[in-house]
Amino acid sequence: LRSRSSGRVTLSEVAARAGVGTMTVSRAINQPELVSAALRARIEEAVEELGYVPNRAARALASAQSKVIVVLVPSLSNAVFTEVLAGIQDALEKDGYQILIGNTRYSDAEEEKLLNIYLQSNPDGVLLSGLTHSKQVTKILTSSKLPVVSMMDLASSPDALSVGFSQIEAGYTMTRYLVDKGYKRIGFMGAQRDERTLKRAEGYRRALQE
């Protein structure tokens, strides 16, 4: 029957249309290699006719795996982050994962809000930008027991998972290059006063002091 609470087409309706049991439909969707080509084609036709969309939350509860990764970035207008998102998607889709993208707008409150919403989808992991987060965000992530990887910076702790580069070293190297070229009046401009920009500024000042 159609779910009264959501009005969505149910697995039972697909099974009835295809003339098979609900377990067979579930198997055809989640483990298609275990279902014959003819039966799979019949089920796929029923899915298409009814416009059935699998319930990821229910499947996650049944399998303890949602195949969803939460990715939070501070901006969607910055080309750097859009390229990073493209790379993440390329890497994850090979193994059948999907991403839930959130734009924190450089706000701790927004990051906290997005995590509270997205963690309800029972994701398999979280990718966050930067290393510094609010106490509440840290508490939420710790309580979730999910694997968390930080991007765009390198963590000093061997226990923390991070992929990126040293922002301080980047700022230092850029400034040192100009100093070595003979320039004396070197300015530093940043679009945001976020932690990564401030670290690059620290590297910039270190090079000038030398």
Report pLDDT digits (tens) over 10-22: 889 999 999 999 9
Report pLDDT digits (tens) over 145-197: 899 999 999 888 888 899 999 999 999 999 999 999 999 999 999 888 888 99
Q: What is the pTM of this model?
A: 0.67
How far does the chain reach from its first CA to its final CA, in angstroms? 74
Report pLDDT digits (tens) over 108-142: 999 999 999 998 888 999 999 999 899 999 999 88
Beta-carbon contacts of 200 under 8 Å, excluding residues fewer than 6 positions away, are 167, 168, 170, 171, 174, 188, 190
Q: Which of 11, 146, 5 has its CA nearest to residue 66?
A: 146
Q: How far apart are CA 104 and CA 72, in angstroms?
A: 7
